[in-house]
Structure 1
Amino acid sequence: MKNSLIQKYNVPGPRYTSYPTVPYWDETNFSYEIWARTLRKSFKESNTSEGISLYIHLPFCESLCTFCGCNKRITKNHSVESPYIEAVLKEWALYCQILEEKPIIKEIHLGGGTPTFFSTENLGDLINGIFSHAIKAKNYEFSFEGHPNNTSYQHLQKLYDLGFRRVSFGVQDYSEKVQKAIHREQPFHNVAKVTFWAREIGYTSIGHDIIFGLPFQEIKDVVDTIEKTKSLLPDRLAFYSYAHVPWIKGNGQRGFKDDDIPKDEKKRILYEIGKKLLHKNGYHEIGMDHFALKNDSLYEAYENGKLHRNFMGYSSSKTQLMIGLGVSSISDSWYSFSQNVKKLEDYYELIANDELPIFRGHALTCEDLIIRKHILNLMCQFETSWSDESNYLEEIPEILLQLKEMEKDGFLAISKDSLHVTEAGKPYVRNICMAFDLRLKRKAPETELFSMTI
């Protein structure tokens, strides 16, 4: 029965870090003027009450991991660091000119690429440069992604001194065979070392990223990885499904054959066993793909109904405005999205000309804003309601009709003006969100756009 349900619902679908999803942005009706106007509107509404978030993309890596779908530039030449930091700070200065008042920053996340590719000195210049135009919020939360192979004690100490209290380390899987296939060879003692260092220095939230569905991965590999993870007891875990999207990233994800990747029931078993072990070890499921111990802020946010989701993934606090800095970064004013150019040379050229390096975006319609709320509710709290007239759509009866089959399969419960995702339905939350995705329903993709939902 379970296998037939997996085959029934395992279809391509978005991960819903935004709505509308990027392939459905209306780029023709978007402009720099629209972005600047909604940016100022959101800033005025939220800066003093909750502050803003910054996502800073640091794209350089010394080697290519073949599971990765991020925008990156592979190089061992560290002379690229300073010019990039200078460009990011100039981009930030351009934003501050638009905002006029000093931003209050609640969240910063350094992603990549490999943020710890950069020296401690350059990371210090970056953060200090950001705050030459900004103020730290009282309850700020700064985080970064660290590569276990190149994150030094000095990296951790420097970023801690700059206000960072959360770090996530990419583990993926401890199997040597799997690591070799994805070109991410890192021994357990490297992960243990940086985890112990972070804890010793005083980081309050240490995360590990684990992936299921990787090439050659077997049940014993997932069990071994989680057992080793248990011994280090990170505060939170991301337990992701591997997204095989070679049509987007070209040969970067073709370091192995499609037949080497676990699929359907085999892949689902990896998840179910991993999830069971995580629960056994004291981790609680938070939203989709995330688990946390009770002491972590992500668990507290989920319990208090304050969990948020954006282009950075799940967050323990919400800001209405998120500005993305650096090549390929995406920004969110709540009323519109914008994305920076993806090619490093284009990014440098636009910044040199005192232009924000935006190449596309989307202005949300009234309908978009309502659907966005429902999808956020489902992704963060596994329930949503349209009892408030402002959250009602004319298409709600049609959406519920489409969800009747999933209700019969035990994945959700529908009442007069709300729906609730059951425990059995949590692995299918992307499918449930797709019923609300009117843009996707009105124009089915003609080419491959999304990874499989299961």
Structure 2
Amino acid sequence: MKTSLIQKYNVPGPRYTSYPTVPYWEESNFSEAQWKREVQQTFFATNKTEGISLYLHLPFCESLCTFCGCNKRITKRHEVEEPYIIALLKEWKMYCDVFTERPVIKEIHLGGGTPTFFSTKNLSTLLNGLFELADVADDYEFSFEGHPNNTTKEHLQTLYDLGFRRVSFGVQDYSATVQAAIHRVQPFHNVAKVTFWAKEIGYTSVGHDLIFGLPFQTLNDVKDTILKTKSLLPDRISFYSYAHVPWIKGNGQRGFNDEDLPQDDEKRALYEEGKKLLIENGYHEIGMDHFALVSDSMYTSFKNKTLHRNFMGYTASKTDLMIGLGVSSISDSWTSFAQNVKTLEEYYTLIEANKLPVFRGHHLTKEDLIIRKHILNLMCHFETSWDTPELQFPEIDEVLESLQEMREDGLLELNNKTLYVTEKGKAFVRNCCMAFDLRLLRNKPETELFSMTI
């Protein structure tokens, strides 16, 4: 990658797990009553054909990882588990009352925090509580995030017995220096152990999450991490850029100095080397920063153009309705977004008062829905088109004009009202999406909102 391209395009930009992005939500126009109506409308339109997705945020961690940008509560007191599960199930009951009919669950994802902070008994109580009020789709997909240091074989077996077939383990990097800097010390042995357990039990997709751009990380660290990863042969790998946003996350991302982070070309070299090694070892690039073996469902969905991206990241299938349960979770009715309150104290107060713990949201306009489709197309398929009326919008010529420089740099191609991101341009797909982001273009941020794109 030419230095000039890195310098030119390495700018702050969204990761586009939604459009509009959260800083551009029109919160003053959001209405909880309208949110419930739109949830109900989407539910009745899609429940029997595609079902719904559930994201459950389990926020507790025993120690703080300084690379993490997630909503979490650090504690070693496991008595916090039961009250939280009771609150989650009460919130679920509130949404089931909004549905008025029995939902069909297509997807469940347990995120955090650290889902494996919870005991197997409490996880069983939680999942069985969900199932009491719902049916499960024939082609369901349940997944969870596991911490290699505290995921037990009992965790894996219990969740497998409850229908889970996909697990992702947070690895980040195997360098002792990097692990110490990010306060996430976990030996290779722990990752190997849980990976082999998962495969032995019968999980069909085991993933490893890797990060480049971490403090003190070198090219040799990335090579060593990828080669160790290859020896365990996970089915899918996320290999994404460390998002340094200390102005949002506070002291949790200030456990090291800015000068300790790889910058620009040095950082991009980490990615290019890692990507090269992954491809040499049989992995295929899927969307942005994800790789999968041909046997994995994510590869199949990418080839079939059914890959989807939402607040959970990439998923192998799509539902229009995704309900987020728990503190800080975000829900999506396709026509609206809604986010839960961000502190446990507020969450418990609202749940005890029999109120949905939503504190902000956004109702998508007709324009939002069109732009959302274009950005999803780019993020999931590296292409988009405007050859049909439902994908056209008045500013398309201005958008294409703004992309002319990327076209001249060989990062994209235009042909018959279709835009294709080239192989060279995949590293800059977020920049391409930014050209379509009309809300961003009309209201450039005056303060730091986003991590760097490269």
Question: What's the offset of the Cα at 1:45?
Answer: 1.0
1:86-142 alpha-carbon deviations (Å, 9 max, x no partner): 000000000000000000000000000000000000000000000110000000000
- Number of matched residues? 454
SS in 2 for 1:40: helix
Aligned to 2:273: 273
Corresponding position: 1:52 with 2:49:
no
The CA deviation at 1:276 is 0.1
Distance 2:197 2:93 in 1: 34
Which whole-Å deviations, capped at 9, do the CAs of 1:287-321 have from their partners, x for residues lacking one?
Answer: 00100000000000000010000000000001010
Q: Give me the whole-angstrom Cα distance separating, in 2, the residues matched to 1:46 and 1:21.
A: 24
The alignment's TM-score, normalised by the length of structure 1, stands at 1.00
1:85-164 correspondence runs (5 A): 85-164=85-164
C-alpha deviation, 1:372, in angstroms: 0.1
- Aligned pairs for 1:234-383 (under 5 A) are 234-383=234-383
**Partner SS state of residue 324, structure 2:** strand
Shift of 1:418: 1.2
SS of the residue 1:131 aligns to: helix
Could you tell me which runs of 5 or more consecutive residues in structure 1 were left unpaired when the two chains were aligned.
Answer: none
Structure 1 segments, 4+ long, off by >2 Å, are: none
The one-letter amino acid of 1:14's match is P
Tell me the amino acid that sits aligned with residue 279 of structure 1. I
Whole-Å separation in 2 of the counterparts to 1:350 and 1:298 = 37
Q: Secondary structure at the match of 2:142?
A: strand
Report the equivalent of 2:412. 412
**Equivalent position amino acid for 1:356 in 2:** L
Paired residue for 1:453? 453
Distance between the aligned counterparts of 2:411 and 2:240, measured in 1?
Answer: 20
- Deviations along 1:51-71, one digit per CA (max 9) or x if unpaired, are 000000000000000000000
Task: Give 1:386-405 correspondences, 5 Å limit.
Answer: 386-405=386-405
SS in 2 for 1:259: helix
Which residue does the alignment assign to 1:38? 38
Residue 340 of structure 1 and its aligned partner are, at CA, apart by 0.1
Q: Distance in 2 between matches of 1:391 and 1:42?
A: 21
Distance 1:331 1:190 in 2: 34
Tell me how far 1:240 sits from its aligned partner: 0.8
2:167, 2:89 → 1: CA distance? Answer: 22
Kindly provide the amino acid, as one letter, of the partner of residue 128 in structure 1: N
Aligned-residue Cα RMSD (Å) equals 0.5
Q: 1:12-36: per-residue Cα shift (whole Å, max 9, x none)?
A: 0000000000000000111101100
- Which position in structure 2 is the counterpart of 1:180? 180
- What are the superposed Cα offsets for residues 366-385 of structure 1, whole Å, 9 maximum, x if unpaired? 00000000000000000001
Q: Residue 49 of structure 2 aligns to a residue in which SS?
A: helix
Cα distance per residue 1:241-289 (max 9 Å; x no partner): 0000000010100000000000100000000000000000000000001
Amino acid at match of 2:10: N
Structure 2 residue matching 1:14: 3-state secondary structure: coil
Q: SS of 1:48's equivalent? A: coil
Q: Which residue of structure 2 lines up, in the alignment, with residue 212 of structure 1?
A: 212
- 2:309 partner letter: R
Letter in 1 for 2:357: P
Aligned to 1:427: 427
Letter in structure 1 aligned against 2:170: G
The residue aligned with 1:11 is 11
Equivalents in 2 of 1:263, 1:107: separation in Å?
38
Q: What is the CA distance between 1:415 and its match in structure 2?
A: 2.1
2: CA distance between counterparts of 1:84 and 1:131?
17
Task: Supply the distance in 2 between the matched residues of 1:262 and 1:431 (Cα, whole angstroms).
Answer: 20
1:175-201 Cα offsets, whole Å, 9 max, x none, are 000000000000000000000000000
Separation in 2, partners of 1:161, 1:196: 17
- Mapped partners of 2:45, 2:444: distance in 1: 36
- Number of the residue aligned with 1:72: 72
Amino acid at match of 1:323: I
Q: How far apart in 2 are the matches of 1:234 and 1:321?
A: 29
What residue number does 2:63 align with?
63
Q: For 1:356-395, what per-residue CA distance to the aligned partner results, in whole angstroms no more than 9, with x for missing partners? A: 0000000000000000000000000000011011110000
Q: How much does 1:236 deviate?
A: 0.1
Deviation at 1:84, TM superposition (A): 0.1
Structure 1: how far apart are the matches of 2:132 and 2:447?
Answer: 45
Q: Which amino acid aligns with 1:381?
A: H
Cα distance, 1:414 vs structure 2: 1.1
**SS in structure 1 of the partner of residue 140 of structure 2:** strand
Q: Distance in 1 between matches of 2:382 and 2:351?
A: 41
AA partner of residue 74 (structure 1) = I
* Structure 2 residue matching 1:34: 3-state secondary structure: helix
Deviation, 1:10, is: 0.2
Q: Which runs of 5+ in 2 are unaligned?
A: none
Instruction: Report the CA distance between 1:417 and its aligned residue.
Output: 1.1
TM-score, normalization: structure 2?
1.00
